[in-house]
Amino acid sequence: MASGATIFKATLQIADLDRNYYRDHALTIARHPSETDERMMLRLLAFVRHAHEALVFGRGLSTDDEPDLWQKDLTGAIALWIDLGQRDARDIRRACGRAERVILYAYGGRGVDLWWTQNRDELERLDNLTVWRLDAETSRNLARLAQRTMALQCTVQEGQVWIGNADETVPVELAELKAASRPVGR
């Protein structure tokens, strides 16, 4: 845990109708001093979309050799590597070599379009990589849900995601920039 990290507690009630996954998760999230509420909530969104009892938060911003979230199998092999932002293509390629599946959630407004234009050709060759684009309005709306103690209801149905608390529900708008071309196990 990073020195000076702010601790958040989140209780997630996840109903993922697409995967028949219905569970509650009590999470402790260490928000790095340089991390925004927006980015922290995007880590929670990634957790919701890929929820599994073995999915855990990495050290994220405080280290370059771990993703924001990851899931290892019983042998210790990395089954799923999830990162956020506009990552360097070299780092993404290295992650694809280490993990069975790599998922990147790109966010940051119009900067994502420029980043994708500059990196598309190289990233298209990575057959175990999926890239999602999150629009700026959605990530700002998710940031409004951030509180030191959160109770969130999360629904996933037909690829759509809704995350909300007692006062507000945020529909999540995602666009797939690149799908993995190699079929992989779950």
Q: What is the CATH number of the domain that holds 120?
A: 3.10.640.10
Of the listed ranges 2-16, 101-115, 116-130, the least confidently predicted one is 2-16
pTM: 0.93
Q: What length does the chain have? A: 186
* Residue 185 lies inside a defined structural domain of this protein: no
Find the helix packing angle between 136-143 and 37-49, rounded to 10°: 100
- Nearest one of 63, 84, 64, 81 to 72, comparing CA atoms: 81
184 within domain boundaries: no
Q: With residue 8 as reference, give the H or E element that holds it.
A: strand 6-16
User: Nearest-5° angle of CA 21, CA 24, CA 28?
Assistant: 125
Our count of domains for the chain comes to 1
**63 belongs to a structural domain:** yes
Query: What's the domain range around 142?
Result: 6-178
Helix pair 111-124, 89-98: axis angle to 10 deg: 50
Which positions ≥6 away from 29 have C-beta within 8 Å? 7, 8, 9, 10, 40, 43, 44, 57
Asked, for residue 183, whether it belongs to a domain, the answer is no
Tens-digit pLDDT profile for residues 136-183 = 999 999 999 999 999 999 999 999 999 999 999 999 989 999 999 976
User: What band does 79 get if pLDDT is binned at 50, 70 and 90?
Assistant: very high
Residue 1 included in any domain: no
Residue 130, in any domain of the structure: yes
